[in-house]
Amino acid sequence: MSERRSIIDPALTRLTGVLLKSALRQLARHLKTPSGIFVALMVVGTVGMGLMPMIVASQTGSLDGIQMYSTVTSTIPLMMLVIVAMAVYFDIGQQITELRPPELQFVLAGPFSDHQILSYRLMTLAMTWVVSSCLMAVFALPGAGSYPSAVLAIYTGGMTVTALTTLHAISKPVLNSTVRTLVASALLGAVALLLITSLPLGMSDAGFSWQAWLLGCQSSMLGTVMTLPFLAFGKLLSAPLGMAMLGWTCVCLATLVVGFGACYWVNVGFAELAVEGVSRKQVRIQRFRSGQFGRLNKTEHRSTWRLFEFPWWGGIGPVAWHQVTFAVRRNGKLLFGLVCVGLVTGVVLMVLPFFRPETIHAHFREWSMPIAMVASTYLGFLLTLSQPIGMAMTPKTLTWFRMLPCRPIAIVIGMLAGQLVILFAIRLAFAVVAAFVTTRGWGENLAVLLAGLGLDVAYGSAINLVTAATVLRAMPSGTPDVLQGGRAMLYMFVLAVGMVPSFLAAGVAGGTAAVMTDMDRQVIAIAVGAGLLAVQPVIWWVTAVFFRDRELFQGD
């Protein structure tokens, strides 16, 4: 049969519609159950409470309490540049070429061309981004010209980022791997250079302002040139209803068409890439099942790194040994590099004031340790959220753990080790930087660090609780559908609920210490850390009950 000439095949369009109907039917089935209705009401209520301040602020013009959102929306071109650079460097676009095995049998076995298969993938992504754009547009209202302009800017901007990352992924058969690596490294290096050289723009007499830094970075000469391709999306976001919005919408759509046009022009082997993506996913699953949890490399090799044996500790030791080994083999280079960068940065910041005393503001030096703890919390959240560590491992692997001759609570406690290794390493890297520049006493800084470590334990426990009690995961796998973003948001909501007992205990302990010691910050930090740790045994016990009673034999 001759190859079809149209880039969109009716059969693949119908498959996309069937996937959409299936997702909606699944949602309707969940909403018919009492638990589904309760969760839906909780999610709608939580999201509504989060969106209401943005709606009120956009109607009343009172932006004093939410200047952060206004700054973020003003730096849309810079944010898009950073996202594209990171996505290209880490080759996130290759996930677009991954099909599930059932899809492989239908899509690749049919008489479809590379362009038609690419269109099918882009259609599924376009559907998922509609719902997310409508929700994200509400958060952008305080800095947007109107709600329609916010939706259009976020939707076209997100799809443009998708087009650029897809273009990099499907250029694999065309460009040499060395050239692709050089392009990705040069782009990320240029963005990093732009951000670092713009740091002085955020300094003022009042201290360091990240809002001034981002705005100054985008408006600098180099920033203006690098963010030029994404300027139209920022203009569309701030455009009111009228001809201005229509004009910038046309410019954004033209940019999007050019991006997708380049994808179709370069696309010469999407079917082969899809087969390679399925093969890569199958190999990854087989490696998980066989216990080889290392990251998939182009050349297969087994790590020779060995960890000393842990004591039995009632069954906690072997499980903790497995989790630490897994985490270090998977993230060892990244964590070691992060600690090295922290040491070098700390030494530079310690020496620099001898030559330029005005470089680091006194307020920044005073609050360097709390700032470091906040930054490390955010990075640890991003790095550990979607990793298959602890109770987030595959059901068959968890079944193997449940067969060990030890109590479920021992397994739950041991499962924390992998997450804590990553989180503690990130804390150490940021704490080293703060320790070199801080002007506060070592006792207070150590107390703040201990509070941060207590938060890591509470966060890891909450992840294990959610993944043991539900089927939710932060990053669902498989073909995107319109509910995938909703499931991720539901996971975030349930995770936040799981953290509530720890936050309440920390707040009560910190408040009590503040009243009794007349706001002694060192004692408050110690009390907050103690409050976070005090409730963890209860959370571990509840997690162990869910882990013991829940049926784990599920499809991967």
pTM, rounded to two decimals: 0.59
Q: Which residues contact 160 (CB under 8 A, 6 or more apart)?
A: 80, 230, 233, 252, 255, 256, 259
Four-residue CA torsion sign, 134, 136, 138, 144: negative
Which region among 6-20, 229-243, 529-543 has the lowest average model confidence (pLDDT)? 6-20
For residue range 250-290, what is the model confidence (pLDDT) as tens digits? Answer: 999 999 999 988 888 888 766 666 666 655 555 554 554 44
pLDDT band at 49 (very low <50, low <70, confident <90, very high): low
pLDDT reading at 347 higher than 80: no
pLDDT reading at 489 higher than 50: yes
Query: Is the CB of residue 419 less than 8 Å from the CB of residue 327?
Result: yes
Query: Is the CB of residue 167 less than 8 Å from the CB of residue 255?
Result: no
Tell how strand 207-208 and strand 203-204 pair up: antiparallel
Query: Is the CB of residue 342 less than 8 Å from the CB of residue 432?
Result: yes
For residue range 317-331, what is the model confidence (pLDDT) as tens digits? Answer: 889 998 988 888 877
Mean pLDDT (whole number) for 50-65: 55
pLDDT reading at 555 higher than 50: no
The crossing angle, in degrees rounded to 10, of helices 177-197 and 76-89 is 140
Q: What is the pLDDT of residue 58?
A: 56
DSSP string, 156-170: HHHHHHHHHHHHHHH
Closest CA to 478 of 89, 125, 202, 155: 125
Residue 424 CA to residue 48 CA, distance in Å, equals 35
